[in-house]
Chain A
Amino acid sequence: MSDQPNLTVTGDGAGALLARGAWTVANVELLERLCDDAAREKIGPIDLSHVTALDTVGAWLFEKLVRRNATQSSETRLVGVPDSYAGLLAEVRQLNRREPSGKRNEDSFVNYLARHARDLGADGIAFLHMLGAVSIALLDVLRRPRSFRLTSTVYQLGRVGWQAIPIMALITFLIGAIIAQQGIFHFRKFGAESYVVDMVSILVLREIGVLIVAIMVAGRSGSAYTAELGSMKMREEIDALSTMGLDPVSVLILPRVLALIIALPILAFLGSMAALYGGGLVAWLYGGMSPAIFIARMREAVSITHFEVGILKAPFMALVIGLVAACEGLKVKGSAESLGLQTTSSVVKSIFLVIVLDGVFAVFFASIGM
């Protein structure tokens, strides 16, 4: 093929070379090899008159040959350059002249830890800041109830509460059913099947019902909040609100957080009921315990305290989810990538905090004897 590039020694003069063919990016593997081979010898003038095509990559390779030998005081130069390539070669001659200013120094492990500790501290401060801002907005609303954004709150309540009911009920129903099935299967060995009712009802009412619902809400609604606020931040909508003299916290964040605080206890209650229903159904169909007995045993096993312990936690979890979602949303910078990053981090952080909070509450309730 005539376009196949090559670089041959012509024999007339010290190290004179003749370049042929297409010196373009398509042939770059071959070209790099040719140049590396040629660079081992002393290079004289390079004749470009038989080059059929030249692009920036080819021009740069010639330029590199010239520069490499310029340091060895041999007479490398380009001769017979066709007019159409002269401009490109002249352009390339001026490029990459400056020494690169050293690679950016790699992160040491200590720096890495320090940076993450700093980030963690900054996150904590941002969270408290947001808590303060939402509290101030709430006090403001209490002082001037007319400034409360009822429409927005009701709309958000519909989104995070009403529309979430089917999926929450389905998942808690399945969790209740699974706990009951596992309980029956294992308790049967001790002949203690009837205690499944105690396990299911206490576990669901105190812990699982609210925890599962809070985690689901963090994944479903917390992420939606972060993405919404983040894209509003990206498109300067939040700045636009501020310039109109409106507080973004009271316009955007307070209605969302309040909606979550109202919705989560309701969802937790409905979820707990669905889980108990699932557990009862499995006890009946798999364990052979009639619903009447299940309900009677449950009445003995649980008191209103168990229910209170569960449902009291819900508004606090909602607050944490809402605040984390708002903080992360406002952290979004210009790019779509950062939006995705903050949404992920919002979900991860709020689930983590919900579980930590649940642990703190467990210690608290145990110490006050609930």
Chain B
Amino acid sequence: MPEPGVAIHVQDLIVGFGDRIVLDRVSLDVREGEILGLVGASGGGKSVLLRTLVGLLHKRSGQVEFPAFPEAEAARRGVLFQQGALFSALNARQNIQFPLREAAHLSPSLLDEIANAKLEMVGLAAEDGDKFPAELSGGMTKRVALARALALDPALLFLDEPTSGLDPIAAGEFDALIRTLQRTLGFTVFMITHDLHTLAAVCDRVAALADGRIAAIGPLPAVLASEHPWVKAYFHGTRAEMLHLGS
């Protein structure tokens, strides 16, 4: 049984395609109100884990539960896809309004006010709402996508490489934004990231996925001390060392 205060409970999860087992008995708990960062090799199953958690992929066996939330609330989760996945036929404001429109009958004026408020929450101006996804820069796309993911005030937020493709300044601002919003709105975050700065600055705990299993999980210092060969290579490789020197 999951302990109290656990938002996502994953037990012995197995996911595979054909003969290939991508996730081999993954067990993981995400606590309520924390930001958990997941690292792993490219093609190592991070996105598969995230897509299984949000219900886009089917599991072979194992458990995925959201013990802290009633059924209806677990279904209301926000997902920020890597490329934003904004609906290209709708402008930014309509993208944010889309889930609201589906969920409830808001008056048009309130709908606009809420969408503008969400745009400002993610650090954009209300005028940016008129732009179409093709006209948005990479950082703005991520922000609008985050605003859309937050449209219904989800208790659970899944982020797939939120800072990939952003320059270090924009990535830093996006990190700070996630942290601030998480403090204000109190949601639980499960994020995939390769950005070591994000891991250090934003995540409460870090999980490392290697060979289809969770190789290490805990606060960043504990994971850094892990003896697992892949985790060591990841955090103590040249690129990672350069960051340690810099800081």
Contact = CB atoms under 8 A, between A and B. Distances in A.
Whether chains A and B associate is: yes
Interface of A: 24-29, 32, 55-57, 60-61, 64, 84, 87-88, 90-92, 94-96, 98, 100-101, 104, 333-338
Interface string B131-175: 011100000000000000010110000000000000000000000
16 contacts: A25-B100, A25-B106, A25-B153, A28-B105, A56-B114, A56-B153, A56-B185, A60-B110, A60-B113, A92-B117, A96-B120, A104-B130, A333-B134, A335-B133, A335-B134, A337-B89
Contacts of A92: 117
Interface of B: 88-89, 100, 103-107, 110, 113-114, 116-118, 120-121, 125-127, 130, 132-134, 150, 152-153, 183-186
Nearest to A89: B184
B88 A25 contact: no
Contacts of B106: 25, 28-29, 32, 57
Contact of B117 (A25, A56, A84, A87): A56
Contact of A91 (B88, B113, B121): B121
B28 to A, nearest CB: 26
Contacts of A26: 103-104
B130 A96 contact: no
A84 B121 contact: no
A95 B121 contact: yes
Contacts of A25: 100, 103-104, 106, 152-153
B156 to A, nearest CB: 14
B85 to A, nearest CB: 12
Nearest to A35: B110
A91 B100 CA distance: 20
Contacts of A32: 106-107, 110
B184 A87 contact: yes
B104 A28 contact: yes
Question: Chain A CB within 10 Å — which of B121, B132, B153 has the most?
Answer: B153
Given A55-B152, A91-B184, 8 more contacts: A24-B153, A25-B104, A25-B153, A28-B105, A32-B107, A56-B117, A87-B186, A335-B132
Contacts of A96: 113, 116-117, 120, 126
Nearest to A55: B153
B13 to A, nearest CB: 30
Nearest to B155: A55
B126 A100 contact: yes
B166 to A, nearest CB: 17
Contacts of B88: 335-337
Nearest to B181: A91
A283 to B, nearest CB: 51
A91 B110 CA distance: 17
A60 B117 contact: yes
Contacts of A64: 113
Nearest to B153: A55
A88 B113 contact: no
Nearest to B99: A25
B153 A95 contact: no
B117 to A, nearest CB: 4
Nearest to B136: A334
